[in-house]
Chains A and B, each alone.
Chain A
Amino acid sequence: MYDKESLSKLSEHKQNWEKNVLNKVLNKKPERKEKFFTGSNIEINGVYTGLDIQELDYSKDLGFPGEYPYTRGVYPTMYRGRLWTMRQYAGFGTAEESNKRYKYLLSQGQTGLSVAFDLPTQIGYDSDHPLSRGEVGKVGVAIDSLKDMEILFEGIPLDKVSTSMTINAPAAILLAMYIAIAEKQGITPDKLSGTIQNDILKEYIARGTYIFPPEQSMRLITDIFEFCSEHMPKWNTISISGYHIREAGATAVQEVAFTLANGIAYVEAAIKAGLSVDDFAPRLSFFFNAHNDLFEEVAKFRAARRLWAKIMKERFKAQDPKSMMLRFHTQTAGSTLTAQQPDNNIVRVTIQALAAVLGGTQSLHTNSRDEALALPSEDSVRIALRTQQIIAHESGVADTIDPLAGSYYVEFLTNTIEQKAKEYIDKIETLGGAPKAIEKGYIQQEIQNSAYSYQMEVEQGKRIVVGVNKFKIEEDPPKGLLKVDPSVGKLQEEKIKQLKATRDNLQVSKALQELKKCAETDKNLMPPIIKCVRAYCTLGEICDALRAVFGEYKAPINL
């Protein structure tokens, strides 16, 4: 962007300034710290100029919004055309209670649904399974069969809302249930829009809700890609997630690197399964975290977009521009919320949400202030949603596209994050790709090291967390926390008993038999799963049928 002559003038000017202005001050009073770093350990200079981004080529490296390499955003008008989707992740207790919360959120101006499932559902156990005890309805809604899904979406027109479901190992089953309830509302699958998370690799790395071994899990995923490319053109078939990787302790650079490395593995698996890249890649979506380091986070989103576009174009030879666009959901960082002085979390969430919007997110969840303590109360959820609405309608940041572009610092960070993430991806390649690197524990170890050094920095006071290691006060325990009724487990057990007594059990065992047979071949698993769901097989029964053929994953333990 700069010619040689102006760069050398600038360099001379800078040297003069350092000598005549800066050093005079530094000699009298040193800076607060000897060195400054971002959360990813990128050293930060006191001031940035064109000298720090002299290689930057506007058209090649930034381009215009909606244009390769999409650094400035995936759409030509971005939030001037349509604001991001405000999508609060919610769900707890029974389907009835969650349905009420969804209707409340929609009535408050939320524009998309995001379903949280409880752990038994995520790991493929029915509510009456011994391992489910104490967990039913706790971190999300309990879904045992299509019956619960019917209640969950009662009165919500599925052709009008888009629904995101945080479900991974049993994603095919929940997708099948969604298709089946839409059918009952008279809506065909091609009209449905939404997302299933369906990202098993990060479950092995960071989140822990895996069921089957990697190979069989990857097959389920590519079966979904294939099925949706034929029947559900508006559905995001996967949400390749850096969120949980970051929550587990990764830095911003590691978040980008490990997420895109997983993305590469999914694309390779689908190509290997016989799909052509432009048939499925336009429906890949991503999910990132937003932390407090505002500029590093904005740069992270921009770097991820540019890097993914290059990978898809150069490595996978995608032709369709949509295959190169990294569209993503963002959630603010749960791990930055403090149990101490919880109202301070509102401010943290505001900074993080701002980073996501300045970074060009397609949808956003803002955390509630009380999430370090319990599931959020209705009041806290409303404040979190209002935070997004204030950014959208009052702050003015949504009125022009990628407003931080051209900032010497932000462009420098964007370049640096891209480069460091690429180095990680190359390293993972030498280990044989993401699945192999996970098997070897490499990715997990890198994340653990970051998590540990972060914790030590906080404890040694090198990093200040307001209210935790500085500016502390004596406080009373917070009031008004949400409590999940412990009788949910009993209630769900009753529902299952009743279901099993009233459904056509011959149909059920036939459908499960068919599913097992299909699992032994390499045919697409979606049609027999849809059949099982329609016959009111329980989620646990369907997963057990697959467990019988696929086996279960046992995680290696490394500290």
Chain B
Amino acid sequence: MAGSKTIRVLIAKPGLDGHDRGAKVIARALRDSGMEVIYTGLRQTPEQIVETAIQEDVQVIGLSILSGAHNFLFPRVMELLREKNAEDILVIGGGVIPEEDIPGLKEAGIKEVFTPGTPTSEIINFIKANVKV
């Protein structure tokens, strides 16, 4: 459970997908809820995302993808986090992600996957309940 420390979140767009409406809306909603939010911008490699997360000392990474490349890119982010001993960072994902892919992503270490229609309040509550500060 979050203490008095402000939660720091990295919202990231892995891959080549340019759809960032959702990522930006969520970044703003998290910020309005009192978190510190960094947004990577488009076209980030898993390597860049993990590096930024460590440099910026975030407790949460939110990955957003709508191109269908999640099965490759999400597990790759988790793999790199483990290599850097940073697997205590809470990683969540969102976007156009078929239900049947979600168990595999969770197995890879993604804590929760939020699909279209999820209220931002649900994401905020999930982060507050699961983040390690």
Contacts and interface: CB of A to CB of B under 8 A. Distances in A.
Nearest to B14: A134
B120 A455 contact: yes
Dominant secondary structure of chain A at its interface with chain B: loop
B121 A208 contact: no
Contacts of B73: 134
Interface string B82-106: 0000000000000010111000000
A138 B117 contact: no
Contact of A138 (B45, B67, B116): B67
Contact of B21 (A248, A469, A477, A484): A248
B16 interface: yes
A135 B72 CA distance: 9
Contacts of B37: 559
Interface residues of A, number: 46
B15 A135 contact: yes
Contact of B69 (A138, A247, A481): A138
B27 interface: yes
Given A452-B28, A455-B29, A484 B68 contact: yes
A481 B21 CA distance: 24
Interface size class of B (residues with CB under 8 A): 35 or more
A459 interface: yes
A209 B24 CA distance: 17
B20 interface: yes
A208 B19 contact: yes
Interface stretch (A185-193, A221-229, A370-378, A524-532): A370-378
B19 A374 contact: no
B104 to A, nearest CB: 12
Given A248-B21, A249-B21, A451-B24, A372 B116 contact: yes
B34 interface: no
Interface string A321-351: 0000000000000010011100000000000
Nearest to B39: A559
A482 B18 CA distance: 22
- CB-based closest 7 A-B pairs: A208-B18, A134-B72, A477-B99, A134-B69, A119-B16, A138-B68, A557-B41
Given A374-B96, A559-B39, 10 more contacts: A122-B16, A130-B45, A207-B18, A209-B18, A340-B117, A374-B68, A452-B25, A452-B28, A465-B117, A469-B119
